[in-house]
């Protein structure tokens, strides 16, 4: 597995964990991802995390609410 894919997967897993624990449905900030990664002894730089969030956005997994600066998961539509 390439380093890029490993970083993307690590950030996606962390995002999933943050969203599962969130009670407000408001999404998360990039700093929330950094803090959780540090707690898990897997720190990444702020720009690395921000880049991976953009990668997940391009993949259709996340979207950025520009007004609040918070990231949210894209709701997947079921195809009939």
What are the average pLDDT values for consecutive 10-residue runs of the chain, which has 80 residues?
83 95 87 97 96 96 95 70
Determine the pLDDT at residue 80: 45
Q: What span, in angstroms and rounded, lies between the C-alpha atoms of 41 and 35?
A: 10
Instruction: Tell me the C-alpha to C-alpha distance, in Å, between residue 78 and each of 18, 43, 72, 75.
Output: 24, 35, 18, 10
Determine the pLDDT at residue 76: 59
Which run of H or of E encompasses 20? helix 3-21
Q: Cβ–Cβ contacts within 10 Å for residue 55, how many?
A: 17
Determine the pLDDT at residue 39: 96
Annotation: CATH topology of 3-72: Arc Repressor Mutant, subunit A (1.10.10)
- Domain extents for the chain? 3-72
């Amino acid at each position: 597995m390439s380093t890029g894919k490993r970083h993307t997967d690590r950030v996606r897993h962390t995002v999933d964990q943050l969203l599962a624990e969130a009670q407000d449905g408001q999404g998360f900030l990039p700093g929330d991802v950094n803090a959780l990664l540090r707690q898990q002894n897997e720190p990444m730089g702020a720009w690395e995390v921000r880049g991976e969030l953009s990668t997940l956005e391009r993949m259709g997994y996340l979207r950025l609410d520009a007004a609040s600066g918070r990231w949210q998961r894209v709701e997947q539509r079921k195809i009939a």
